[in-house]
Structure 1
């Protein structure tokens, strides 16, 4: 049995005022409309809800029982509407972002800081993971925005945030000629330190070498980008890294670049949302900030 919500709103007003004319004035409708609404509700529920008297109306036992539930239900609806309004005005809510620790630390931090300062009522939640993981979370609805490396998916809206380039590095004391220009095969012959196979940058690097007929067989495979640098620095081999993520280590002199005679195409870290799902107000505001390139 479906009863229109508006009938319950009229019922609640009459129950609380005890007077049909006062309820009509409060609801900005006619007295006859109020009386008709109560009659429709009583007919639909097959129950007498009010006892009429010259002094007004009072709830019957059945009406009193119904009133307790209607008051709670309409209160919850009002609260929900208020919360929704506040979320749309960026006064409260949650924004869930999926990104790797590296992207969060080297790119997103100033945006997160500025967004939190501007919208302190919005709870920021960061889910850490590589591209494949955060994109899967985005498709499942677990995150609002994902930052991933060069995703190819027609179901996504993407905006390039910054380009990334593959480089090969070694510790300053590593026994190699840093002035020599290395070929693909020479790089492949070094004891290589690479990210684990499920990392998108590792897959991309292997594919680029396979185009030249060269298979990469690393001696060390890691899940941490920073460990690539650490183990290269202590002389365990040549690490394949993302140049933009190791600039601090290069500037500090902890590692050095190896020169190469080949180019590996640049990739990009993209901000991604689902194409067919409208982002929340908080997600929209954060994306506009990132697209502007200026935190705050």
Structure 2
């Protein structure tokens, strides 16, 4: 199989015109160069592709077979070029975004609404996974932008802060009241059920470090896979949940949930968009990040 696309282009043009002179004019090369290219392709394929006569050149049966596939290939290339031109005209491009389910729901979704209104022809792909997995996908080039919490593992990326988030613990008043009937306040860490995200989650690791620094050990931990479920389980009085304060503002304002003071301070964290530094010049990424302000 020949890897020289130009040989197939010459073969296709000669087969289409059945005339070396016309092919030479169409390709802007000499007739001897045309003939030489055809001979080279025939030698590589060990097949006679054309019959020569005083009226021109004609495809052999083997030549017709090859021409059918080459024509299909060049038509596919032309279709691809036409689609690219069409996309440029409409401003169509593709953007692959990754982030945790929680961040996608509470932060990315409102942000995307405005972006889509400004760029209606952008093709979006959104994948949900942990922050660490998102950073791995960014490194591998499988996504273009990741919505992540700021960590120390961003040296190879450009990070664009979007908003602060605050970790907190919440519960219903009824749960805390019932808990106080069977245990004293000082026994909260050993008697209460603490609902947390799993160990692989960045938020969980952050909270674990804070507990360890203060010598606190939780006796009863219920691991929940998503922030949404943590919030819902806390609303029915199942325990004390570690959540992001910004995501339960409505419940806190209505009194359905209340913050539980554990005597600890959790500094605010920053959520933002990360991308490879080498991709910052890409138009669609530039447009996306400009919306941050």
Same fold (TM over 0.5): yes
Q: 1:155 Cα deviation (Å)?
A: 4.1
Distance 1:60 1:279, change over 3 A: farther
List aligned pairs for 1:42-121, cutoff 5 A. 42-83=42-83, 94-121=94-121
CA contact (8 A) 1:190 1:238 kept: no
* Cα RMSD (Å): 3.4
1:1-296 alignment, distance < 5 Å: 2-83=2-83, 94-153=94-153, 154-173=155-174, 175=176, 188=189, 191=192, 192-259=194-261, 262-274=264-276, 278=279, 285-286=284-285, 288-293=287-292
Structure 2 CA distance, aligned partners of 1:92 and 1:291?
A: 18
1:120 Cα offset (Å): 4.6
User: What TM-score results when the alignment is normalised by the length of structure 2?
Assistant: 0.79
Alpha-carbon contact 1:206-1:216 (below 8 Å) kept: no
Q: 1:61 to 1:231 in 2, by over 3 A?
A: closer
Q: Bigger shift: 15-24 or 245-254? A: 245-254
Equivalent position of 1:179 in the other structure? none
The 8 Å contact of residues 98 and 147 in structure 1, kept in 2 or not, is answered as yes
1:200 Cα offset (Å): 1.6
Could you tell me how far 1:17 is from its partner in structure 2?
1.0
Number of residue pairs the alignment of both structures matches: 284
- How far off is 1:209 after superposition? 1.7
Single out whichever of 54-63 and 83-92 deviates more from structure 2: 83-92
Q: Could you tell me the TM-score, scaled by structure 1's length?
A: 0.78
Q: Name the CA shift for 1:215/1:68 in 2 (closer, same or farther; >3 Å).
A: same
In 1, Cα distance between the equivalents of 2:125 and 2:6?
Answer: 38
Change (3 A) 1:110 1:231: closer
In structure 2, what is the Cα distance between the partners aligned to 1:218 and 1:291? Answer: 45
Deviation at 1:207, TM superposition (A): 0.4
> Where does structure 1 lack aligned partners over 5 or more consecutive residues?
177-184
Kindly indicate which of the two structures has a greater share of residues assigned to helix: 2
Shift of 1:46: 3.8
